Structure 1
Amino acid sequence: MASRSTAHRALAALRADLAGEVFAPGDPGYDEARAVVNARIDRRPAVIAQCADAADVVQAVRFARDLDLHIAVRGGGHGLAGTLVDGALVVDLRRMRAVVVDPAAEAVRVEGGATMSDLDRTLRPYGLAATGCHAPGAGVAGSVLGGGTGRLDRVFGLAVDDLIGVELVTADAERVHANDDENPELFWALHGAGGNFGVATALTLEVHELPEFSVALPLYPPESGPDVVRTFRELIRTGPQELGGAVLYLAGPPARCGALLTYAGGAGGLRELAAPLLALPHETDLCGAQALELPYPPAGLRGDGSAECLGGLPDAAVDVLCARAADMPVPSAGRLTLLPLGGAIATGPRAYPVPYRDALWTVHPFACWADPADDEPNRAWVRDVCADVRPWSTGDVCLTLIGDEGPERVRAGLGAGNTLRLEKVKRAYDPDNVFRFNHTVKPV
């Protein structure tokens, strides 16, 4: 560890050299800079470097290595485990949000701090779309490199399958590119274990033509949940892969059960496909952007969540799921989400460390509350939901939907057969395990 005087000199140099801003404990703006969406996470980093460009990231990583600090990376900042670490340097990418479209190549370059809203807003005028992730405010890089699921993955495949290239700053403060031809082994590892090997300053993604996109969200009383889930299950089983969405139990009050339907097509086609759900007595039918954004809890509350991938959804699993939904702690902005997989997810490339392609459903309980005194009942509810549906679990997990649940769950999210290969890539690019937080792969 560097001496106090050396650390002060290095921090002063970092402040002078960075185009962005630097915050340390005691600085005005430090508490605001360290705040994350999940109020249950209260961390005090040694330094927060809000980088303006890739050159800033190089400087920040070099600073951390010189002072023997571990490095945490903050992109969108929606990760359940939090993206800040006590005593570490945080490379904060939220100023790096540029999104540049190449319509002729049907590709887009996305900086490391861009959110799904940034990406959507830029692509929409071109009639293009990316699979992305479910939450508008979530970071694109974290979701893609974590092998996460999104609202268009049944029709276009997982967003990580559309990864063309990554611009990365390694633990040695070197800028490298990774694609099929350049650093191909690193490129493979970035498909799912992407936070382990450096700071992703930009991604290049393939995008898809999407001239029309329709959304509906009929809301039902919670006691209608079993009928809603079974009807939704049948629509997904028999419908086209352009149809996706989720069943959502919203805690309230008032409690509601919602069937979020997304369709890569026009509103008329969606309404025809959704007819069985719309035939059930429902209270409200929301459409458009409001329907998409409604399910995501607001910032500033305490949160905890997890996930289980299911190989099927028999009636017994439906009954268990709906019973647990009725036990959701209230008042709350939380929800219990049932996400359909299949479609283009299942037919995507098998080589990458994303093991849940054969699962048909994901159960994602997310508790959200205000009072620290309510921590235990809310977190217990999340654990109980996952335990109750485990008889139907494939054993795999989507890592972007869970927090820090230990090394066994990381292996479940990357595939046990990929562990040694990932550890070798880690040894090559981060032998000192500088990037060791959240879903960590250790160097072999």
Structure 2
Amino acid sequence: MTEIGTRSVTGAALDALADGFRGELVTPDHPGYEDHRRVWNGSIDRRPALIARCVGVADVIAAVRFGRERALPVAVRGGGHSFPGLSVVDDGLVVDLSLMRGTRVDPAGATVRAQAGVLLGELDHETQAFGLAVPSGIVTHTGIAGLTLGGGIGWLMRKHGLTIDRLRSVDLVTAAGDLVHADAEENPDLFWGVRGGGGNFGVVTEFEYALERVGPIVLAGPTMWEVEHAGPVMRFYRDWIAEAPDELMTMLVVRRAPTIPAVPPEIQGRRVVVVVSCYAGDVADGERVLAPLRAHRPPLLDLCRPQPYLAHQALLDPSFRPGWWYYVRSHDLAGLTDPVVDVFAEMGPQVVSPITSVGVFHLGGAVARVPADATAFGGRASGHTVNINGNARTPHEFDVEKDWARRFSEALAPHAVGAYSNFLMEEGPDRVRRSYGANFGRLQELKRRWDPDNVFHLNQNIPPAA
């Protein structure tokens, strides 16, 4: 008999699941258990009772039914990249999709189908072979599943929209263990919900996206100044982006200059304010658009240059390595008002860890032109999304970084207009509700229809309507 949490499951039950299961079933006595239970955020240390490493839809169906029949808490893992570690659970079942890595590009139709275990870098690799791309995130080892289901912000969004704005269909295993298809014509309400509503409605096993022509060369990279200039840099930046074309996506960052070969040794470790740019258009046009940024104040270092889109997508990978300790707080802002700039000018010089950072994503453009109720995503009217990372490479540094992130968040809170669900920790129902705004009631009704028992609750949870 195998103990699963406080519940007993007979060996025959596990044998029945294993019969016909093409993937791998990992229990605590399995030699690979320690590796398979680990997720990207090293601060998460949870011990599931069973990890079902699925290789196809039939495996997913079998695992979901097994978990539901035995009332096990069910976590779903794609890339395992969620900040709060919601893809792993103590004493429960992990439906692990990481082996489902198939990708198929249709260059003529400008679409791509990708299974739920695919990572952003893998998707980009396949699509850029044809000069095409899906707007996605900013770290290549992020899973496409969690990123997409939460909305998907990244370097192409002002020109081509969020990741969900390029989503054309999904295949999904429901809480009842049934496979359904959802697109604009078939199950349209469900399709509305998965575009921003997270993993609340089932396990998406495959995504279909429309592709956009991108690169392969883009004008992109960081331009940095000493953090002492954060105030004037941000005020200039605020005015400059007000007239920015959709092709230009920028992220303002406060951090220590990273220890990477591209940064000279005498600059590494210095506190800096950075504008990271990506111009999704003609490089010569981008040079003209970026000229005022470079001219307003001599930068400490300028690495913004023509480069492969794939290289730019991997720019931040060294700053978010698997196994480090991550803690995040987040707010949406309407704009970079003087009081907001003052918070950054005060908190930026207090950065301690070389991997702690705060990033301010510039929204607007194509993101804002989609009606607020067209998808479940709740932040289209915001001007910026702020991601405050209190990160550490070892556990003993972590408390200091978490404290900095909390203080930064508290100082910004009076200016917040919402939050991005993919950047939430386990902060409670009020924060989740606020991240969806006026769409929350419709999401609760949808949850009642597709998952009335809240089987899929290990997420930024939307409880079913009463």
User: Which range is displaced more, 169-178 or 66-75?
Assistant: 66-75
The CA deviation string for residues 392-430 of structure 1, in whole angstroms up to 9 with x for no partner, is 222x21111122111011111122x33332222212221
Q: What is the rounded CA distance, in whole Å, between the counterparts of 2:103 and 2:235 in structure 1?
A: 40
> Kindly tell me: are residues 315 and 6 of structure 1, through their superposed partners in 2, closer, same or farther at Cα, counting changes over 3 Å?
closer
Q: What is the rounded CA distance, in whole Å, between the counterparts of 1:11 and 1:202 in structure 2?
A: 26
Q: Is the 8 A contact 1:297 1:334 kept in 2?
A: no
SS at match of 2:355: strand
Report the equivalent of 1:227.
Answer: 232
- Cα drift, residue 356 of structure 1: 1.2
Report the equivalent of 2:241.
Answer: 236
> Kindly tell me: are residues 281 and 368 of structure 1, through their superposed partners in 2, closer, same or farther at Cα, counting changes over 3 Å?
same
Report the equivalent of 2:204.
Answer: 200
Map 1:64-143 onto structure 2 (within 5 A).
64-82=67-85, 83-143=87-147
Report the equivalent of 2:260.
Answer: none
User: Which range is displaced more, 62-71 or 152-161?
Assistant: 62-71
SS at match of 1:342: coil
Unaligned runs of 5+ in 1: none
Alignment of 1:405 with 2:422, yes or no, is no
Report the equivalent of 2:46.
Answer: 43
Report the equivalent of 1:429.
Answer: 450
Residue identity opposite 1:224 in structure 2: H
SS at match of 1:259: strand
Report the equivalent of 2:264.
Answer: none
Equivalent pairs, count: 441
SS at match of 1:122: helix
SS at match of 2:327: strand
Question: What is the identity percentage for the equivalent residue pairs of Structure 1 and Structure 2?
Answer: 36
Unaligned runs of 5+ in 2: 258-268
Q: What is the rounded CA distance, in whole Å, between the counterparts of 1:276 and 1:42 in structure 2?
A: 47
Q: What is the rounded CA distance, in whole Å, between the counterparts of 1:241 and 1:59 in structure 2?
A: 45
Report the equivalent of 2:275.
Answer: 259
Match of 1:372 among 395, 402, 409: 395
SS at match of 2:198: helix
Alignment of 1:333 with 2:355, yes or no, is yes
Report the equivalent of 2:337.
Answer: 314
Q: Is the 8 A contact 1:298 1:333 kept in 2?
A: no
- Cα drift, residue 206 of structure 1: 1.4
Q: Is the 8 A contact 1:235 1:273 kept in 2?
A: no
Q: What is the rounded CA distance, in whole Å, between the counterparts of 1:256 and 1:105 in structure 2?
A: 44
Q: What is the rounded CA distance, in whole Å, between the counterparts of 1:130 and 1:232 in structure 2?
A: 27
- Cα drift, residue 6 of structure 1: 4.2
Residue identity opposite 2:21 in structure 1: L
Q: Is the 8 A contact 1:430 1:443 kept in 2?
A: yes
- Cα drift, residue 105 of structure 1: 2.3
Q: What is the rounded CA distance, in whole Å, between the counterparts of 2:59 and 2:67 in structure 1?
A: 12
Residue identity opposite 2:110 in structure 1: E
Report the equivalent of 2:286.
Answer: 270
Report the equivalent of 1:32.
Answer: 35
Q: Is the 8 A contact 1:127 1:210 kept in 2?
A: yes
- Cα drift, residue 291 of structure 1: 5.0
Match of 1:391 among 408, 414, 418: 414
Q: Is the 8 A contact 2:198 2:459 kept in 1?
A: no
The CA deviation string for residues 105-137 of structure 1, in whole angstroms up to 9 with x for no partner, is 222111111111111111112121111122211
> Kindly tell me: are residues 167 and 270 of structure 1, through their superposed partners in 2, closer, same or farther at Cα, counting changes over 3 Å?
same
Residue identity opposite 1:185 in structure 2: D
Q: What is the rounded CA distance, in whole Å, between the counterparts of 1:5 and 1:84 in structure 2?
A: 20
SS at match of 2:390: strand
Q: What is the rounded CA distance, in whole Å, between the counterparts of 1:40 and 1:347 in structure 2?
A: 38
SS at match of 1:161: helix
Q: Is the 8 A contact 1:161 1:349 kept in 2?
A: no
Q: What is the rounded CA distance, in whole Å, between the counterparts of 2:127 and 2:233 in structure 1?
A: 33
SS at match of 1:173: coil
Q: What is the rounded CA distance, in whole Å, between the counterparts of 2:439 and 2:294 in structure 1?
A: 44
The CA deviation string for residues 266-293 of structure 1, in whole angstroms up to 9 with x for no partner, is 3333222222222332233324455543
- Cα drift, residue 16 of structure 1: 4.1
Alignment of 1:354 with 2:374, yes or no, is no
